[in-house]
Amino acid sequence: MRRVLALCAVAGIASSVFAVPASAKAGYYVIRWDNTGICQVWNEDLQYKPFQWGVSTYKVVSKPLPTFQEASDVQIKMRADRRCTL
């Protein structure tokens, strides 16, 4: 019984070690729409990219960031610096 419990504990720790690097990858960045100046947080894991048509184009204005909160902080700082309108 103790061996089974110890084996389960080791398996749980090993699986959590492998899960950390996968969740630490960069997944968010800030984009800026050229026609409006609005900045938006975008998730790289989405299956599609933002839809561009006509004058509605965007540029990536931040480096990839690991969390939504960090990307949101960058967006807020850009608004404070008046590099984004919203």
**pTM, rounded to two decimals:** 0.64
Q: How many CB atoms lie within 10 A of CB 23?
A: 9
pLDDT of 83 > 60? The answer is: yes
How does pLDDT run across 5-21, given as a tens digit for each residue?
343 343 444 433 344 44
How does pLDDT run across 40-68, given as a tens digit for each residue?
999 988 888 888 888 889 999 999 999 99
pLDDT of 72 > 70? The answer is: yes
Q: How confident is the model at residue 77 (pLDDT cuts 50, 70, 90)?
A: very high
